[in-house]
Chains A and B, each alone.
Chain A
Amino acid sequence: MPAQDGNGASQANETGTWKVKTGLAQMLKGGVIMDVVTPEQATIAEEAGACAVMALERVPADIRADGGVARMSDPEVISRIIDAVTIPVMAKCRIGHLVEAQVLEALGVDYIDESEVLTPADEAHHVNKHPFKVPFICGCRDLGEALRRIGEGAAMMRTKGEAGTGNIVEAVRHMRTVWDSIRKLQTMPEEELMAEAKELGAPLELVRETRSLGRLPVVNFAAGGVATPADAALMMQLGADGIFIGSGIFKSEDPAPRAHAVVQAVTHFQDAKIIAEVSRGLGEPMRGLELSQIPEEELLAKRGW
């Protein structure tokens, strides 16, 4: 590429910048990202209007049921899903597993989810995400956790919720917790910010930035427990930028109409008449789990720090 064209344009194109990493997340806003385990499911998701898919070997409900160590998916599965659709494809690596992350980047995925749904590879450290060209998304339960991940280079966040339960209660708790802390920052005098950063366990600069923006510095989706169009719209009304739906689609009775309905409900999240209309006759949602039935050590949201 020529350095100068005489029209004033110059410099080579720059890839892997913070702007293009966070920018893709901005393009996904107002959309639904669906977990898929086969190219056929990926096609159903794209056809229904998903703005991206998460390529997996097993959806969280099955990971939860099967037990054992959950790892990055087989590259063959991921590549076949990449080939099946034209929308962005995300894939999950284990917390702290930097080689799984390198492999996913080499496969050409568009976003890496360093996810608590898989069994953590490192109990103390998450992946240093800055050196990668591919952007990362991470889960959070509160503002401190979100800002620690952003400090490590996450270009997109999602609330963790409790994946594979079909129960929205944890996603609601995490989204409300994040926003409560942001509102608190905004009413706080400047001199209290350092103590608040210490309390949150978050970098001061990111605490300042969050306060001045009045929101997280990167896009924040809701995840973990969305099963119905109304669940998705609820998370949007609570301040999510978009929605992840995992087991909720392909563990339901009739996935395609449900996937389509969730997309419509996210676009029209403030219009109850439309949400009512698109929610009609979708068949049985996924069965769902009461949180108190899950043993403490099997709660996925507690993984990571």
Chain B
Amino acid sequence: MKIGVLALQGDFEEHISVLTKLGADASDVRLPEQLDDLDGLIIPGGESTTIARLLARWQLLSPIRRRALEGMAVWGTCAGAILLAERATGLDREGLRLMDIAVERNAYGRQVDSFEAELSVPAFGSRPFHAVFIRAPRISEVGAKAMPLACLADGTVVAAQQDKLLATAFHPELTDDARFHQHFLALAAASPPATIRETESQAATGVRRPA
């Protein structure tokens, strides 16, 4: 299983370290040709404005979109989730616009408001997932093509999935719980694309959409 981690800026080393522990063949991606034989791509945490500029400068937007449409799995954590969203408030550059979700950048406040919390992820069973949110974006809308996957205690949606695309507002690469990475590796291995039907989504994930 070949997984690339976008290494333009951000905590890509942390993702590579988790992937390597799980036995995946993980590599840095800085240029378009490094996307060619990947089963999956992770867009890490970092500054979304910085990464968006570098994606455009190194002509990575179109090749990533094309590979995603060909079935490459893509997972964005925090900044990566902003870049995956079709609608991103507060991002001044073009993102990948692959996922039918809306996100608001820095929606929880400044660094002093960054927090840790226990998440409910019904798809992973009853054990909560301990998550780290850093100047995190809010997933304000999960469209019909995507489905919510995880939420805070008050029901706020913090992760979403659409076929082989995954967005998390938090950083599973900063904690020792590898369930999101394992979930992503399973998505990357799935062929044909892992589609969950809209009618099944509520039952499948057990998380309600944002109101």
Query: Taking A28-B47, A108-B110 as contacts, is the C-beta distance between A13 and B116 under 8 angstroms?
Result: yes
Bound state CA distance, A51 and B45, in angstroms? 12
Interface string of B112-131 (1 = CB under 8 A from A): 11111111101000111000
Q: Tell me how many residue pairs across A and B have CB atoms closer than 8 Å.
A: 155
Are B152 and A27 interface neighbours, CB within 8 A?
Answer: no
Select one of A2, A3, A14, A111 contacting B111, CB under 8 A: A111
A31 contacts B151, C-beta separation under 8 Å? no
B153's partner among A1, A14, A26, A108 (CB-CB below 8 A) is A1
Contacts of A39 in B (CB 8 A): none
- B151 contacts A7, CB within 8 Å? yes
Q: Report the count of interface residues on B (CB-CB < 8 A).
A: 52
Do the beta carbons of B112 and A86 come within 8 Å of each other? Answer: no
Residues of chain B within 8 A of A108, CB atoms compared: 110, 112
Question: Which of B11, B13, B114 is within 8 Å of A20, CB to CB?
Answer: B114
Cα A105 to Cα B174 in complex, Å, equals: 24
Residues on A with beta carbons closer than 8 Å to the beta carbon of B174:
19, 23, 26
- Which segment of B48-56, B177-185, B186-194 sits at the interface? B48-56
B105 to chain A, nearest CB (A): 7
Would you call A31 and B153 a contact (CB within 8 A)? Answer: no
Q: When A14-B115, A105-B112, A108-B112 are in contact, do A30 and B8 touch as well, CB less than 8 Å?
A: yes
Residue of A nearest to B170 (CB): A23
Does A9 lie within 8 Å of B119, measured CB to CB?
yes
CB contacts (< 8 Å) of B155 on chain A: these are: 5
Instruction: List, in ascending order, chain A residues with CB within 8 A of B112's CB.
Output: 15-16, 105, 108, 133-134
> Which of A9, A17, A29, A135 meets B10, CB within 8 Å?
A29
Q: Across the interface, do A49 and B135 meet the contact criterion of CB distance under 8 Å? A: no
Asked if B149 is at the interface (CB within 8 A of a chain A CB), the reply is no
Contact, CB under 8 Å: B153 / A27: no
A109 to B122, CA, bound (A): 37
Establish whether residues A49 and B50, one from each chain, have CB atoms under 8 Å apart when the complex forms: yes
Report the Cα distance A240→B104, complex, angstroms. Answer: 31
Instruction: List residues of B whose CB falls within 8 A of some A CB.
Output: 7-14, 30, 45-47, 49-50, 53-54, 57, 78-79, 90, 92, 105-106, 110-120, 122, 126-128, 132-135, 151-155, 171, 174-175, 206-207
Q: List 14 A-B contacts (CB under 8 A).
A: A9-B117, A11-B153, A13-B115, A15-B112, A15-B115, A20-B111, A20-B114, A20-B115, A23-B132, A23-B171, A27-B11, A27-B79, A46-B49, A108-B110
